[in-house]
Structure 1
């Protein structure tokens, strides 16, 4: 190889080596495209407890607004519109996560001899119906807030008569504008909602 041909080739190789070294992280590190999966599983700490009665409660699977019946994590950056995080989702739908938490919270009151869940076709004294209206991380406010809205009602087992109903609306501030901060806020709001629901049920069955 002539000297005139050697130096352009050497220059090309040097540029390639430098470029590879600078971009080594992107070439040899895995691309961060994994989805983060989060849970809502926080129970309230101050659940009221009562003496056990020979009373059974059926906790039905919560209904849910169809817009929120998904594992996709929802946020809002402008009014009247929702969007979904691309790399963050729930481990189950909000209704699927809430149902066992409702059941556990009501069992922890010790008031009911049995807390039942579907599928169950036998007799029971009361039934708890819950509906999730909204679960949204709202970035239109400052600070951002987690909105959780529910409706619950308690009915008699024999007649299906509504004994009492309650609307619950909670707003929990996010500590920072991230999806994970929204997960923490969702757990806090859910625990507060469960506290209110257990108090509501115990007041209605007295």
Structure 2
């Protein structure tokens, strides 16, 4: 469970899942098991999640559970290194440097929930011409050394997202998690094409949010 207000992940154990499952609308789980927890434990856990804004006692105020099912992974990232260099315009390095500074500012100073709202804002770019996204990904990867920060998935995905926005494109940003050992990951894609990662890495994670 991702708390976007505090930018924290919460692991819900199986026994606790049986407690909170009745509070989740459109839960696509055939059998969650019988809840054997004491009423005091149920009340404590539910109240904790309500206080953190992760649950609501009123179904009219909450949101139904939304399942993230991206297309089967297909990546151009593995082919970038062996391709001929992309066509670089004079404004591309400037754009790369600008979005790198902007992404670093967001991650340092702005809460995750505001960043997500910022990503969601604005009209969605056309996905008809996926070649435009592929070219943008190749340009970004070619100029990646100019970013003022080492490779980090969330930083790189935000930088690439805003690089695309500067050029009239809007890829999807995906957040995924792995249970054991726990890890979180972020990448961008469009129409099932992964733009800044490889399938072998993506398949280790279960998507929980597509923005």
TM bracket (short chain): under 0.3
Instruction: Give TM-score scaled by structure 1 length.
Output: 0.22
More strand by share: 1
Instruction: Give TM-score scaled by structure 2 length.
Output: 0.21
More helix by share: 2
Q: From the CA coordinates, give the structure whose radius of gyration is larger.
A: 1
